[in-house]
Amino acid sequence: MIVTVTANPSIDRTVEVAALVRGSLHRATAVHVQPGGKGINVARALVCNGVKARAVVPAGGAEGEQLISLLSDYSIDVVRVPTLGTVRMNVSVIEPDATVTKLNEPGARLTEPETTALADAIINASHNASYVVLAGSLPPGVRDDFYAGLITRLTDEDTQVVVDTSGPALRAALAAGPTLIKPNHHELEEAVDRPLATIGEVIEAARELCSLGAKAVLASLGQDGAVLVDATETWHAEAPVVTARSSVGAGDAMLAGFLAAGGKGRQALVSAVAWGAAAVSLPGSTMPRPDDLRPHLVEVHPRIKAGRELRGDN
Ligand SMILES: Nc1ncnc2c1ncn2[C@@H]1O[C@H](COP(=O)(O)OP(=O)(O)OP(=O)(O)O)[C@@H](O)[C@H]1O
Ligand SMILES: O=P(O)(O)OC[C@@]1(O)O[C@H](CO)[C@@H](O)[C@@H]1O
């Protein structure tokens, strides 16, 4: 069982438009409403591929009810932590060339008792978990060291903890020694506070985060695939570039693919890249199913080209 935690869940509304023009009225050509937040997406991707997942989710208000109802379409074991505040609504506007303009709300403030209840629910839900995934932003009211505290508590119980977050929460989490972190290109640049233009620079930055406490780094690089750095090895793998439809949640699908294939090493990286590539070719934040996956097309570079320039996001 893989346990995912989404401290700041969302209802994701993806609106497709012909072209986005600031200050204009747009008529949507399609709309998708899906349960969102990174941990929830990881859990959705896992169960869509027959891997058992439990999702811990704080949820309140009418939107909280809607989120739980949307989640009932998936065979996820949902652990709901009731809150007074409502679940946020995040909007992605997608143009035909797959350009995404994303509007994420901050999320409702969690009170101190709610934060304590969430932390206790996570610990209770995580006994016997093969991995616990702490994913996404923290809502207002929750301290930056929330994930760090959980990593310490879970590691004391020999649980493997994966973190996918950004900014101060990521920096605080590093020192607590997570099993794996999954930054994207932008989050990695932010973590080392410099631009990263080549594969070699990404690898150097990932090693720096290992020296700060992460046991491994899985960096997602959009159409340039992904880099995996652990204590002994470094790999770069990529799928043939697909015509993107929506990149929302592709990084979450990618992390799910990595964990579904064992959570370490070359084969897990191949699976991760295949799941990520499949996710970008699907609408909204739709997670891939077995028929969508093409792991045999993924190339693991036998020799890493450190000087290769990154092509940019999706
Ligand atoms: N155009 C593309 N063609 C092929 N594979 C892609 C493409 N875009 C993304 N991928 C795959 O999907 C993975 C995740 O993409 P990306 O780096 O954009 O994630 P992300 O920024 O973490 O996404 P999110 O935060 O929305 O979940 C990449 O590592 C890569 O394997
Ligand atoms: O605001 P956060 O927590 O950083 O990210 C939330 C979010 O953008 O991440 C997912 C895609 O990865 C979406 O489902 C969701 O809307």
Question: 239 CB under 6 A from ligand 1?
Answer: yes
Residue 69: how many other CB atoms lie within 10 Å: 10
Question: 252 CB under 6 A from ligand 2?
Answer: yes
Q: Is the ipTM of this complex over 0.90?
A: yes
80 to 31, 40, 76, 164: CA distances (angstroms)? 27, 12, 12, 21
pLDDT at 314: 61
Q: Which of 248, 254, 255, 275 to mutate to test the pocket of ligand 2 (most atoms within 8 A of CB)?
A: 248
Question: 181 CB under 6 A from ligand 1?
Answer: no
Tell which atom from ligand 1 comes closest to the C-alpha of 241. 3
Tell which atom from ligand 2 comes closest to the C-alpha of 137. 3
Burial class, 103, CB count within 10 angstroms (exposed 0-12 / middle 13-18 / buried 19+) = exposed
Question: 42 CB under 6 A from ligand 1?
Answer: no
Give me ligand 2 centre to Cα 282, in Å. 17
For residues 279 and 287, the answer to whether their CB atoms sit within 8 Å is yes
Give me ligand 1 centre to Cα 85, in Å. 32
Domain ranges of the chain: 2-19+28-300
Question: 137 CB under 6 A from ligand 2?
Answer: yes
Question: 271 CB under 6 A from ligand 1?
Answer: no
Single out the catalytic residue among 252, 291, 292, 313.
252
Any idea which residue has 């991707």 for tokens?
Answer: 45
156 is catalytic: no
pLDDT tens string, the chain, 314 residues long: the values are 999 999 999 999 999 999 999 999 999 999 999 999 999 999 999 999 999 999 999 999 999 999 999 999 999 999 999 999 999 999 999 999 999 999 999 999 999 999 999 999 999 999 999 999 999 999 999 999 999 999 999 998 889 999 999 999 999 999 999 999 999 999 999 999 999 999 999 999 999 999 999 999 999 999 999 999 999 999 999 999 888 999 999 999 999 999 999 999 999 999 999 999 999 999 999 999 999 999 999 999 989 999 999 987 66
For the domain covering 2-19+28-300, report its CATH number.
3.40.1190.20
Q: CA-to-CA distance for 195 and 299, rounded, in angstroms?
A: 26
